[in-house]
A and B are shown apart, each in its own frame.
Chain A
Amino acid sequence: MSRNLVELIRRHDGIAAPTALDLLKESVAARGELTEEDLQRTAAVTGLPEATVYGISTFYDDLRAPRGERHVRVCTGTACFAATGGSHVQALSEGLGLDLGSVRDDGSVSLAETVCLGFCHSSPAVFDGEVIVAGPGAVAQVLSDSPTPAPQPQWHSLLPEPVLTRPGDWSGLRRALSELDPQQLLELVVSAEIRGRGGAGFPAGVKWRFVRAAAGDEKYVVANGDEGDPGSYIDKYLMEQNPELVLEGMALAGLAVGAAHGFILVRSEYPESKPSLDAAIERARQAGFLGERILGSDFSFEITVVEGAGSYVVGEETALLACLEGLRGTVSARPPFPAERGLYGRPTVVNNVETLANVPFIAARGAEAYQALSPNSASSGSKLVCFNERFNQPTVVEVPFGMSVRELCENVAGGLRDGGRIKAVQIGGPLGGILPAARLDTAFDFDALAAEGCMVGHGSILAFDELTDMRALAVHLLRFGAHESCGKCFPCRIGLRRAHDMFAADAPVDRARFEQLLETLELGSLCAHGSGMPAPLRSLLRHFPQELSLA
């Protein structure tokens, strides 16, 4: 991330103004495409160089795909792949008479792909204009021009007393402001040993400590709501059904580290998230939980919701910050860490939405109560998991750590629908390893899954049934990986394209060369996208070599 560009933004309008990305999105929404004047105007308004604005305009899917009056985006996420094997994409493309990424000559209809819409409980999903349709009849609805909004998923908790599925009531913030000082609050979060729920599993309290200790008065809290993992709709549930809990977690983070402003980045693929959060912020302001001098204390905290523009890698924390600044969402090498130089160059806490949603309970009830939530695991707290459409009960469920994956799949989610049998499950998103049916007894916690080459990740549990073609799955995963590579580091930029092309070619894959490539990706990549993409491929090589046509 260019320090100079960030400085130009700070000096021009500071953090309050719309970003270049905001303005470009507005232009695309208004006219369906970006003209040279749009770019020049954006540069003039933001004070950014024209080249920089052009670079931004070529990065995000939402700005690159041509748009007709009716813009149809078909989900090509892994849950939709697991549901149809990709046939829904072909059906829609043929039905509309449009290739992916094209628009009719008369500008009436355009078709683009998107990953993913978070309707993994009801695949396949299509975003038709303003409406998301999902389920087996989705394509037919779109083609008959009668889209019906798909139902939202259900949720429940296995815990005697729900933590993440109880409505946020601001009790944690109340207690923190009346009984704790910021340092005590921070120590509480440290001793609760809450690990980040976004995938990396880094202890949140330690991160907070760095930010609190960092120099300067201006600090930020950033909630990562860029839940890009295909197959996951956990953050979507939190932001849309339980936004108060997230906001309260952010306010607590601000109180603990000394920040007065928080930002949430939500995905444009989740059109309901921003309105829901904005409404909750307004309610919280009215009730005095956000704004100036909260609950009569000296603590003031504002939250701004920012919508992204279509990029998976923006879920990586440094790319997320770049996106919030309206710049290209590419990854930056660390150090400097965001805790030292983050949003707009200032010390910043970046936590996943779900991580933050855990904090109100810790503030209200203490670290010990939190650790007691998962008595059968070394991991503390509870976890939201979600299941894809193949399951009988594809819902969001709050679970304690330590249950086996089998229990989750068979007891909690009711096994596969239509008598299907699990061939394998991918846990925690596209960078998570794939667990074959034979190893479903693995415990669902950070350490046990890691031992299997898998991870808790973000907690999605995505089943593939026995009809799944594992080579096609490899192509699907690598296509996603190559498409979403931000293009910064060489191994990921080139390596994922080469890996994809090896599997997409109609020829056996040289296993030795492929594994050399995977090693290069794993050890060489700058962020978890490049270093993590090999994990499911390693799983496939290990558990399904005979299905991959290897040489």
Chain B
Amino acid sequence: MTSERFTSTATTTCGYCGVGCRLEAHADHGRIVSIAPALDGPANEGHTCLKGRFAHQFTRSRDRLTSPLIREGKGLRVASWEEAYARIVSELTRIKSQHGPDAIAGLASSRATNEDCYAMARLMRAAIGTNNIDNCSRVCHSPTSFALRKSLGLSGATGSFTDIDHAEVAVLIGVNPTQGHPVVGARIKQAALRGTKLVTIDPRRIELADYGVLHLSPRPGTNAAVALGLCHVVQRDGLTDEQFIAQRTSGYEAVVELLEAYSPHAVQEITGIPAADIERAAHIYGEAASASILWGLGVTEHKYGSEVVQLLCNLALMTGKLGKPGSAMLPLRGQNNVQGSSDMGALPDTYTAYRSVADEAVAAQFEQAWGVPLSRQKGYTIPQMFDAAVAGKLKAMYIFGEDVAQSDPDTAHVVEALESLEFLVCQEIFENETTRYADVILPASAFLEKSGTFTNAERRFQRVEPAIDPPGGARTDFEIITTVSRMLGHEMGWQTPWDALDEIARLTPQYAGLSYERLGRHGLQWPVAADGTDSPTLYETRFETADGLGHFAALPYKAPGDAPDNEFQLVMVTGRVLQHYNAGTMTRRTHNLDLVDRDWLEIHPDDAARLWISDGDRVSVRSRVGQTQLYARVTPRIEPGHVFTSFHFPETRTNLLIGQSADVNTACPEYKVVAVDVRPMSEQPAFTPQLVSA
């Protein structure tokens, strides 16, 4: 397909999942007419999925926000930008003077560019004066980030997607790439057909299990026991790399002691996985010359999600399967910029590259660059923000690109928090559940309408270029944030996002070599040295911990936060389907809706028969905190005792079912283990999702 057919073509980076496909976006008369994969895209190699390629019509959906809205009485009315900015500045200034800067919090977005997130963090830190800045990776991969830093040093994949091609073995745990990360899913499938041995570990028999050598179905919430069982067998049967352990790690002895308790039979008791399968999986991994581990939210969104990631690091450390081709640890990031939004310091405790806000030297450097004093106190995490709002300590929020009332757990609590705020700014492309509570709504831009960079799941900074302009009066996020900052009295001094990128590079040794020119068409994988050399593989010779060693973590298995009982007999896990993306804000405004038009509840034929549920029946799903209704899909892909649903349709309000249980280290919600009661709806009355307590 040649570009002469179109008035313009932009080479950009996909704004859906964390794979980071490079796209050629063709536009004609201000509309996207076709998107094709860039042949030289390093992550996608000329391929993309139906979301990247086709799901772009939302950009010109009739209900796009195209002018600012401000609250007047009970309703919202159209306002000019000047009015909207004035309202924001006066309210934030008032609240700051009455309650102090820490009464204000901001959320950056894992959907936005690095430059947007960096600007948002700077807005909160420099213009407001608080570290109350977080982003939505809190609710997905914060456990990954935490654990990788603890065990290995850096918060990112240790290798690249190409390691999948070179791996003799790939272990997939808690991840369903053919649905959630389709282009990597396709890559894994091809590798498996060429001979890479796949071991899949998931409560559901995911599609890739059909191409693998072994599938393990643990009970939801027992991943830690699986990891410990694998380590037990590896250690017991001498599949360890003793030289690697001796030279490059610390803390192994404590792990050996801990592992004694996790014999395959003990693990079978906990997980339900046959002991022989644990043995086999351990041998497949341990005996391979090269093996990679891939995981997703099925690992992280648990009470002990971060600990499981540490245990997986143990497995890689004890077998020396790190820092070499084919042996990588690859977390598959859910959103396009989960990696970058946190890298950029849109977190309550860190500046760019995870440097602590309490680190005097770092803080001083930023103070000098920004010309303002900066707080050394950690700010609120997202759940803490909601708690603080309910408690009356947090008065204002500036939420940018996240529908917290839809996506975050314990919806009732979130709603109460939003209602408790004195002032809420939402910067969005569509109205959503959260904007209902907003005092000012700012019409912003989608990924096809802006410049900057995204960082994909293999730590690759890639350019984002606009294919079209924001519609109507909508503006780019970068322009909005820098303008608000200026009006609050803090001039950031940038003309374009590329100026922000230069500042990020200047103030962050790990990103020192980044520049618009050097990124070129193929991007750069951080760390990027000052001369522009990037890092496809980490830890070839040392880990990036203080002592340069990989750190084993002796962490026992602990039961998940929820468990089935007589009243709630089934365990529900949640996940994505290929055709939709997260809250569905974008994909439901495209023809993807013609392909999949609802969330389904997958249930095993045995459970379905026991509960008198037939395929296609409408069923009620009730948890300890909420209730909703779904249509049942009876399938043997899920084990008896478990059910699965996606969360793409707001009318389902799946998150009404999720309680407050969260990862012990990072507060990432435990989306993946919820005890539920499922029963058929004998009748189908008009339905409104509701809270049990209401």
Contact = CB atoms under 8 A, between A and B. Distances in A.
Contacts of B193: 3-4, 7-8
A516 B283 CA distance: 63
Contacts of A4: 190, 193
A7 B196 CA distance: 12
B197 to A, nearest CB: 12
A8 B193 CA distance: 8
Contacts of B190: 4
Interface string B165-206: 000000000000000000000000010011000000000000
A529 to B, nearest CB: 30
A5 to B, nearest CB: 9
Nearest to A47: B210
Interface in A6-27: 7-8
A4 B190 CA distance: 8
A208 B258 CA distance: 58
Interface of A: prevailing SS? helix
A308 B517 CA distance: 60
A7 B190 CA distance: 11
Nearest to A5: B193
A3 B190 CA distance: 10
Interface residues of B, number: 3
A8 B194 CA distance: 10
Nearest to A7: B193
A7 to B, nearest CB: 5
A7 B194 CA distance: 8
A3 B195 CA distance: 11
B191 to A, nearest CB: 11
A3 B194 CA distance: 8
Nearest to B213: A11
Nearest to A6: B193
A22 to B, nearest CB: 23
Contacts, number: 7
B210 to A, nearest CB: 9
B653 to A, nearest CB: 36
Contacts of A3: 193-194
Interface string A356-394: 000000000000000000000000000000000000000
Contacts of B194: 3, 7
Nearest to B211: A11
Contacts of A8: 193
B225 to A, nearest CB: 30
B105 to A, nearest CB: 51
A29 B188 CA distance: 40
Interface in A151-170: none
Nearest to B189: A4
A7 B195 CA distance: 9
A88 to B, nearest CB: 50
A8 B189 CA distance: 12
Contacts of A7: 193-194
A451 to B, nearest CB: 47
Nearest to B195: A7
B644 to A, nearest CB: 23
Interface in A104-161: none
A499 B190 CA distance: 41
A7 B197 CA distance: 13
A8 B190 CA distance: 11
A2 B483 CA distance: 57
Interface in A385-406: none
Nearest to B190: A4
B255 to A, nearest CB: 36
A7 B211 CA distance: 10
B214 to A, nearest CB: 13
A397 to B, nearest CB: 50
A249 B193 CA distance: 35
A119 B194 CA distance: 46
Nearest to B210: A47
A126 B508 CA distance: 85
Interface in A289-331: none
B405 to A, nearest CB: 42
A11 B364 CA distance: 61
Nearest to A8: B193
A482 to B, nearest CB: 33
Nearest to B192: A7
Interface in B15-45: none
A8 B192 CA distance: 11
A4 B186 CA distance: 13
Nearest to A2: B193
A106 to B, nearest CB: 40
A7 B189 CA distance: 12
A356 to B, nearest CB: 32
A251 B190 CA distance: 36
A347 B31 CA distance: 54
B635 to A, nearest CB: 15
B682 to A, nearest CB: 34
A16 to B, nearest CB: 19
Interface in B468-494: none
A68 B194 CA distance: 44
A383 to B, nearest CB: 44
Which of A3, A4, A8 has the most CB atoms of chain B within a 10 A radius of its CB? A4
B107 to A, nearest CB: 44
B621 to A, nearest CB: 32
A4 B194 CA distance: 8
A370 B301 CA distance: 76
B215 to A, nearest CB: 14
A50 B187 CA distance: 22
B243 to A, nearest CB: 31
A7 B213 CA distance: 13
A4 B193 CA distance: 6
B194 to A, nearest CB: 8
Interface string A207-224: 000000000000000000
A7 B193 CA distance: 6
A52 to B, nearest CB: 14
B196 to A, nearest CB: 12
B422 to A, nearest CB: 59
A178 B194 CA distance: 41
Interface string A194-208: 000000000000000
A4 to B, nearest CB: 5
A12 to B, nearest CB: 10
Interface in A481-522: none
A44 B194 CA distance: 22
A131 to B, nearest CB: 46
7 contacts: A3-B193, A3-B194, A4-B190, A4-B193, A7-B193, A7-B194, A8-B193
4 pairs of A and B residues whose beta carbons are closest in the complex: A4-B193, A7-B193, A3-B193, A8-B193
Interface of A: 3-4, 7-8
